[in-house]
Amino acid sequence: MRDNDFTKILGWPGYRVYRHEIDETAKTLRLWVRRKRGNRKLICSGCGRKFSDAHDCNEREVRDLPWGEYRTTVIIEVYRVCCPQCGVRVEKVPQLPSKAPFSKRFEEAVGLACESASVRQVARQFRLAASTVRAIDLRYLQRWSTTRRKDPLVQMGVDEIYFGKQMKFITVVSNLETGEPLWRSALQPMGLPHTIVVNRMGKRFGNESFYRAFLYAVDIIDGGNQTHPNFPCWVILDSQAREKYPFGSVMPAQDLPEGLGVKADSIAQLAGKIGVDSKGLAATIAAFNGYCETSEDPEFHRGMHAWSAWMCGDPFHKPHPNLGPLVKPPFHAVELHRIGGSAIPSTGLAADSHCRAVGWDDKPIEGLYVAGNSMARMETGAVMQSGVSNARGMTHGYLAGRHAAGKPSDLLQKQVERLGLGSAA
C-alpha cells in the first residue's frame, strides 16, 4: 500500500501519512503523519487565537484504533505557537483531546466500552491498566458533559450506594428522569486519614469523623457580628488521600474534575487559592500531624466512636482508622456546600393511622396503602434523615400489612388514649 492509501484509511482531516512501518511479527502498524499542504491554520490551545507561523515543531506518539489485528500507533507532527496572550503554547489538534498518549477516537471507543462493561473487562479488552481506563473514561464523560443537552430538572431522588470496604456508602442526589448524579455527600471522605476540614481562619472546628457533632459546629453563629465563623469551609487533603481513597465518585488517583477543587504544591499556595488564612492553616496542619503520631485528637476527639472507624474512616489504616498526616504534596482543597435535606421527600400522599391513602374527600381509599417516602413527611430525624427514612418504611409497612390482613394495629390508639390526646385519625 502507498502512503496515500494509508491517508485515506486513517481519515484524519487535514493530515496525510508520509511514512509507514509494519511489523508482521509483532502485529504493529506505525504511521507518521503531518499537515497537508495549505493546512497551516494553527490554533493556540490556551485562548483559541489563530496563527499562520509556528514557533517550532515536535513529534508526538499516540495510540489509535487497531487496524484489524494490528495495534496502531500514530506519530504526528505537532507545532507550538508564540501567542502574545498565553506565551509559547502547543497548537490545538482535534484528534488529540488531552496530553495522554491516545487519539480522540481511541478514547471514545474506551469510554463507550465502559458504558456496558466493568473497568477490569475494558482494561483486558484494550490491554490497558485499570487506572488508565478510569482516567480515559473520566475525560470521555467530561467531553460528553460539555456538549450534551441539559434538560431542566423535574424529578429528583436521593439514595445511598455501597462503595466498598474503605468508602462504605455515599449519598447521591440524582435527576430521576436522566439518571444523572447532581450531588454527592462529602461526609464519608472528610473523616478519612490525611484529610481535615477548616474554616476561613484555617482552623479545624469539629470532629470530622462524626457528622452529628460536625454539622452542628457548622451552624454556630457568632453573636458579635452575626456571621457563621465555620461556614464556608473546605476539605483539605494531601496526595496520600487522593492516591488511596475515592472522593465522592472520583476514583483514587484520578484528578478532581475542573471546578470541584483546587490543587497546589504547598500549603501556603493552597491557602492563597481558596482565601484561607495561610498561617492558621499551616499551624492547624502541624498540630493535626502531631495528633496522628500519638493516635489521639485532644481537640475534637476524632475517631473516638467505633462508628467513625467504619463509616468515615479506613479500618485497615494503621495505627488509627481516622488519623493520618497531611505531608505529601500536591495538596487539594474542596469547598463544602449545604443541601436542604436528604432521604425524605418534602411532599407525598396523605394517609391515615393505618397507612391507607386519603382521597380529596379526606376519606381513606380502601385497598390503597402508602409507606416510606411515598407518604407525606410528618417526621424529621436528627440532622441526617437516612435512619428515620428507613424507620418510616418499616413502620408504615407493618401498619399497612396488619390492616390489610384484617388485624389493624391498636398501638397508636392506646398511646393517644394514655396521653389524653383524643383519638388517632
Spatial CB neighbours of 255, under 8 Å, sequence gap ≥ 6? 135, 138
- How many angstroms separate the CA atoms of 297 and 207, rounded? 9
Bridging pattern class, strands 70-83 and 181-184: unpaired
Q: Which pLDDT belongs to residue 391?
A: 85
User: Between the CA atoms of 18, 23, 24 and 27, what dihedral angle is there, to the nearest 10 degrees?
Assistant: -100
Beta-bridge mates of residue 64? 72
pTM here is 0.51
What whole-number distance in Å separates Cα of residue 300 and Cα of residue 317? 20
Q: How far is CA 355 from the centre of its chain?
A: 38
Q: How far apart are CA 422 and CA 415, in angstroms?
A: 10
Please give the pLDDT value at position 425: 64
Sheet holding 234-237, edge to edge: 195-198, 234-237, 331-335, 262-264
On whether the CB atoms of residues 370 and 348 are closer than 8 A, the answer is yes
Q: According to the model, what pLDDT value does residue 334 have?
A: 94
Complete DSSP assignment for 54-116: -SEEEEEEEEEEEETTEEEEEEEEEEEEEETTTEEEEBP-TT--SSSSB-HHHHHHHHHHHTT
What's the Cα-to-Cα distance from 403 to each of 353, 355, 363, 394, 398, rounded to whole Å? Answer: 10, 9, 16, 14, 9
Which CATH number is 189-335 given?
A: 3.90.700.10
Question: Where do the structural domains in the chain lie, given as residue ranges?
Answer: 3-146, 189-335, 356-419
Tens of each residue's pLDDT in the chain, 425 residues: 788 889 898 999 989 999 999 999 999 999 999 998 877 789 998 888 898 888 899 999 999 999 989 999 999 999 999 999 889 999 999 999 888 999 999 999 999 999 888 889 999 999 999 989 988 988 888 888 777 777 777 777 766 665 555 545 566 667 777 766 665 566 678 899 999 999 999 999 999 998 777 878 888 999 888 899 999 999 999 999 999 888 876 878 788 888 889 999 999 999 999 999 999 999 999 999 999 999 999 999 998 887 787 778 888 888 999 999 999 999 999 999 876 555 566 678 999 999 999 999 999 999 999 998 888 877 766 556 667 778 888 999 999 999 999 999 998 888 888 888 766 66
**Residue type, position 229, single letter:** P
Collapsed DSSP state (helix, strand, coil) of residue 155: coil
pLDDT of residue 320: 93
Is 31:20 a contact under the CB 8 Å cutoff?
Answer: yes
Listed in sequence order, the DSSP H helices in 11-55 are none
Alpha helix stretches (DSSP H) within 187-311? 211-218, 239-244, 267-274, 278-294, 306-311
**Running DSSP on this structure, what letter comes out for residue 121?**
H
- Which grid coordinates belong to 390? 428507613
Rounded Cα–Cα distance for residues 351 and 375 (Å):
7
Which cell is 335 given? 469547598
Exposed, middle or buried: residue 51 (CB in 10 Å: 0-12, 13-18, 19+)? middle
Terminal alpha carbon distance of the chain: 85
Of 57, 80, 74, nearest to 7 (Cα)? 74
Task: Return phi, psi of residue 79, to 5°.
Answer: -95, 155
> Which amino acid belongs to residue 178?
T
CB count within 10 Å of CB 351 equals 24
Positive or negative CA dihedral for 65, 70, 71, 73?
negative
Q: Cβ distance 236 to 333 under 8 Å?
A: yes
Residues facing 70 on adjacent strands: 67
